[in-house]
Structure 1
Amino acid sequence: MMKKVKLAEEMVEVGRRLYQSGFVAANDGNISVRVNEKHVLITPSGVSKGFMSASSMLLVNLEGEVIEGEGRPSTESAMHFDIYKHRPDVQAVVHAHPPTATGFAVAGIPLDQLAMPELIVTMGTIPLAPYGMPGTDELPSTLRPYYQEHDAILLSNHGAVTMGRTLTEALFKMESVEMCAKILFTARMLGRVRELSDEQVDKLVDSRSFYGLKGAHPGKKIIEQRRKKGEQS
């Protein structure tokens, strides 16, 4: 019981930060966190993320059935459940509409240029998933190919979703997505995005172990693709 209450309070804080950062407006966005293997807490539909209470969170199973609480689960709950089913390591999911990153998603541009060391080490790249109708099973099906190697994904014409081992980690990744988008947008306006070399990226990817980061890293694939293009040209 205490764990559930604490997690619900953390969800309130994450929602407040998303709202104050301008990553969501009105009733946009949704947040969830695992309570155990079978159940998650998720934000209810039609509630502003800046004005939530811990008691408003819904306890649901991964089929979307409400176990505790009043109201309907978020309209994007299918996306959250699908992530949890395919990524047992993920403990929290955040979906928001950070303005600059969502601008890239609307323009059809992924955040996949290897230009910022911090992002390369932590998340590698942020792909753009094809458009899927919000609030339907179509949306998670467009994201599924990216789950295993990405903790942050842009949703075409929609927003972004991030995953973490904790609610705070998922929030921080959303902040990193927006910061990355702002920096790349500025560099594009200045006329050039200067990417790091393959060797520089290799060293950054290898440094992940120093920071205790594990798992697949999408930067490796992009390096391989760049090298193949170089060999073919």
Structure 2
Amino acid sequence: MNKARPLIEAGRYMLTNHLAWGTSGNISIRLDTDNMLLTASGTFMGNLLPEDFVEFNIHSAEYRGSKKPSKETPMHSEIYKRRSDIGAILHSSPFYTTLIACSNETILSNLFIETMYYLENVAYVDYFHPGTSELAEAVSKQSCNANIVMMRNHGVTVFDDTLNDALMRLETLEMACRMIITAKSAGVEFNKIPDHVVSSFLEESRYKPRKKLII
């Protein structure tokens, strides 16, 4: 299953770079209008094999593969249904991101170039049990307002046009969360980029064309 290769590499990258751990998390890519390829239930993110993936129809819920789809399949399906532009979804629980998700700390986007771009739209949902229809509904609903959804006391789900873009968004988030926690513990105050400079940066595509929300 050659189409699984990018996801296999993404899982290994996530584990190596502390963006995932063990079997915590699930990832997918859109194959076409109706189908996605996602990790099966209970798969180890750093050692994924071709048989660890399931091809799943987001409309009929039919699937092909030797294993059961991830318990978070409903969440992936609903995001793809609501966001026609999305090509990849990553759900994981990186340490610093999850620490923020378990607190009342605010994620800052006006710190540096990548945070201005990748963290422009961040939404939050309350805690719901993993794999439930309530979680899928809450996250997919917020996907209309953001490209990152923080899941309280759980982790995060990020999505983007491509797998590489989604990985960059997740890694930028984890770095920002690490900076926020480290700065707070060390008593360091940030010099934040002014709002008008952030607006200029985004509107004039001084990094890359602004990611628009397409519903």
Unaligned runs of 5+ in 2: none
Call closer, same or farther: CA 1:17–1:179 in 2, change over 3 Å: same
TM-superposed CA distance for 1:64, in Å, is 6.8
User: Which residue does the alignment assign to 1:219?
Assistant: none
User: Which residue does the alignment assign to 1:99?
Assistant: 95
For the residue of structure 2 that corresponds to 1:211, the secondary structure is coil
Task: State how far apart, in whole Å, the 1-side matches of 2:11 and 2:114 are.
Answer: 25
User: Which residue does the alignment assign to 2:139?
Assistant: 143
Unaligned runs of 5+ in 1: 217-233
User: Which residue does the alignment assign to 1:204?
Assistant: 201
Fraction of identical pairs, as percent: 25
User: In terms of mean alpha carbon deviation, does 194-203 or 36-45 score higher?
Assistant: 194-203
Call closer, same or farther: CA 1:51–1:113 in 2, change over 3 Å: closer
Q: Which amino acid aligns with 1:82?
A: E
For the residue of structure 2 that corresponds to 1:189, the secondary structure is helix
Which structure has the larger Rg?
Answer: 1
For the residue of structure 1 that corresponds to 2:150, the secondary structure is strand
For the residue of structure 2 that corresponds to 1:27, the secondary structure is coil
- Which residue, 3, 6, 16 being the options, matches 1:7? 3
User: Which residue does the alignment assign to 1:45?
Assistant: 41
Q: Which amino acid aligns with 1:206?
A: E
**Larger helix fraction of residues:** 1
Task: State how far apart, in whole Å, the 1-side matches of 2:8 and 2:25 are.
Answer: 13
Task: State how far apart, in whole Å, the 2-side matches of 1:195 and 1:145 are.
Answer: 30
User: In terms of mean alpha carbon deviation, does 117-126 or 175-184 score higher?
Assistant: 117-126
Using structure 2 for the length normalisation, give the TM-score.
Answer: 0.89
User: Which residue does the alignment assign to 2:157?
Assistant: 161
CA contact (8 A) 1:44 1:72 kept: yes
Call closer, same or farther: CA 1:65–1:98 in 2, change over 3 Å: same
- Comparing both chains, which one has the higher relative contact order based on Cα–Cα distances under 8 Å and sequence gaps of 6 or more? 2
TM-superposed CA distance for 1:37, in Å, is 0.7
User: Which residue does the alignment assign to 1:115?
Assistant: 111
TM-superposed CA distance for 1:56, in Å, is 2.6
For the residue of structure 2 that corresponds to 1:127, the secondary structure is strand
Call closer, same or farther: CA 1:26–1:64 in 2, change over 3 Å: farther
Residue by residue over 1:142-167, the C-alpha shift from the partner in whole angstroms, topping out at 9 and shown as x without a partner, is: 22443123211211001111101111
How many residues align structurally? 212
CA contact (8 A) 1:7 1:33 kept: no
TM-superposed CA distance for 1:38, in Å, is 0.7
